[in-house]
Amino acid sequence: MRGTKPVAKGPEKNRKPKGGPIAYRAHMERKTWAPLAAAAALVGPAAFLKSLWIERFKTELFGTGSPELRRFQGPANERQAGELPLSTVLDELRTPSFFSPSRLVIVERAAAFIAEHGDGLVRFLGEGFGGGHLILLVDGKLDGRTRFAKALAESGWIVECAQPFDRPPPWETNVPAWQSELTHWVVERAATKRVEMSPQVAFFLHDRAGTDLATLDEELEKLSTLLASRGEKQAEESAILEVVGDLREDSIFQVIELLLEGKRVDAVEALGRLFERGVHTDRGALTVDAASISLLFLGALLPRLRALRRAHAMSREGQGAAEWVAAGIVQRPFLARFQRQLRAVPPAKLVRWIDRLYDVDRAIKSGGPPEKLLELLAVEFGAAG
C-alpha cells in the first residue's frame, strides 16, 4: 500500500488482496463473504474442506432458502475434451429461475474443463453470469501463468484446500507430535460439535482413525453423541476408544512402526497395500509411482534408524529415557514404543541396515525394481540378529 490510501469499510474489507490464491482457513474465518464472487476455483486434495466451503457459499448465497444448484462432472482428462461443452455450463448459469434470483453451478473434476474452456470463461469473470455463480473443483493447482488463472485471481476467488499435515514440520524437531495442522483442525472441528478436546487427545484420535477429514468428522460426530448422552463435553482417550475403531489406513509411518517393532509379516503386507493404493506426499498429492513411494519410505526410515543409533550410544554412556526425551530423540507419549524398537533393533543390526538403506536407494535410482527391492529390504530387516 502506498501513501495514505483509506482503509476499506463494509463489504469491501472482506475482499482478498488481488492477484493470488486465498488459504481455505483465512477465507472461512471471514464474517461475511459479500460481495460473492461470480466464479471460484477450489484447488487442492482436501475434498472435505471443499464440501464445507461449498456449504458456506450456499448459505451466503441462498440464506435459509432452497438452493438452485446444478452439478456437472468435467472430463477425466484433456483427451476427453468436449464431453462438457462450455455452452451447457453457461446456459445453466444464465437461465432465470422462478424460485430464486441466484443459481449455483459446480463443476467437479474441473482441470480438463478449465484447460479447454478457460479462455472462454475469462470475459464472464468480471461481468458475471447474470445472477449465476460458478464453482470449479480442481484436485491439483491452477497454472498461475494462464490467462484464466490470472483473471480469476483478479476478479474471482482461488481457494487453496490443502490437506492438513498430521505431523509437525520436519525441521521442528523438538516440538510435540500433536503440534500439527491436523491436530489443530480436529480440535476446532470438535468445538463445532460442542466437544472440548486437548491437542493430545485430538492427536490420539487421528493417530487411531487416520487422516481422512470426512472420516474424522464422522468419528467426532459419534464422540459428540456419546458425550451428550452422558451430559459431558470434555473428550478423553477412553471415550475415543469406545467409539473409534482402528480405522487408520496404511501409511509410510505405520509400515515403519511395524518394521521397527519386528512385525515383519505385517510390515510386508502393509507395504504391499501402499504400492496398491498409493501414498500422499508432503504436499498432499496422491502418488502411485512405485519409485516415488520407495524413496519416500527410505527417506522416512533413515532418520528413525539414526535416532535409534543415537539412543543406543547414549545408553552406553549411562543415559536413559529422560535424556532421550530432553535431547529430542523421542517424544514422551511414544517412549514405550521407542523402547520396544530399541530392543528389536540392536546396535550391530543398525549399522548393517543404515548401510543397506543407502544400497537400496542407489539401486532404485539406477532403475532397479522398487517394489521388489523394498519388499526384500523389509524381509531382511525383520530377520533376527
Cell, residue 188? 476446532
Cα separation, 178 vs 167, in Å, equals: 7
Domain residue limits at 138: 16-160
Residue 93 in domain: yes
| Residue labelled with grid coordinates 504436499 | 283
More confident residue, 110 or 280: 110
Residue 5 in domain: no
Cell, residue 178? 500433536
Query: What's 234's domain CATH number?
Result: 1.10.8.60
Q: Which residue among 98, 125, 160 closes a domain?
A: 160
Q: Looking at the structure, tell me whether residues 284 and 156 fall in a common domain.
A: no
Contacts of residue 121, Cβ cutoff 8 Å, sequence gap at least 6: 39, 86, 114, 134, 148
Q: Looking at the structure, tell me whether residues 138 and 61 fall in a common domain.
A: yes
State pLDDT tens for residues 7-26. Answer: 333 333 344 445 578 999 99
What's the pTM value of the predicted model, to 2 decimals? Answer: 0.64
Which helix (H) or strand (E) segment holds residue 294: the answer is helix 290-316
State pLDDT tens for residues 313-335. Answer: 999 999 998 899 888 888 776 77
Q: Looking at the structure, tell me whether residues 25 and 86 fall in a common domain.
A: yes
Which residues does residue 71 pair with via DSSP β-bridges, in sequence order?
106
Cell, residue 100? 430464486
Which residues does residue 72 pair with via DSSP β-bridges, in sequence order?
107
SS3 category, 145: coil
Half-sphere exposure for 136 (CA within 13 Å, toward CB): 30
- In this prediction, residues 179-194 reach a mean pLDDT of 95
Q: Looking at the structure, tell me whether residues 269 and 357 fall in a common domain.
A: yes
Query: What's 298's domain CATH number?
Result: 1.20.272.10
- In this prediction, residues 255-270 reach a mean pLDDT of 83
Which helix (H) or strand (E) segment holds residue 292: the answer is helix 290-316
Q: Which residue among 220, 243, 266 closes a domain?
A: 243
Identify which of 195, 124, 156 has the alpha carbon closest to the alpha carbon of residue 37.
156
Residue 141: burial class (beta carbons within 10 Å; 0-12, 13-18, 19+)? middle
pLDDT at 14: 40
Residue 316 in domain: yes
Residue 2 in domain: no
Which helix (H) or strand (E) segment holds residue 290: the answer is helix 290-316
Q: Which residue among 243, 265, 293 closes a domain?
A: 243
- Provide the number of structural domains found in the chain: 3
Q: Looking at the structure, tell me whether residues 21 and 77 fall in a common domain.
A: yes
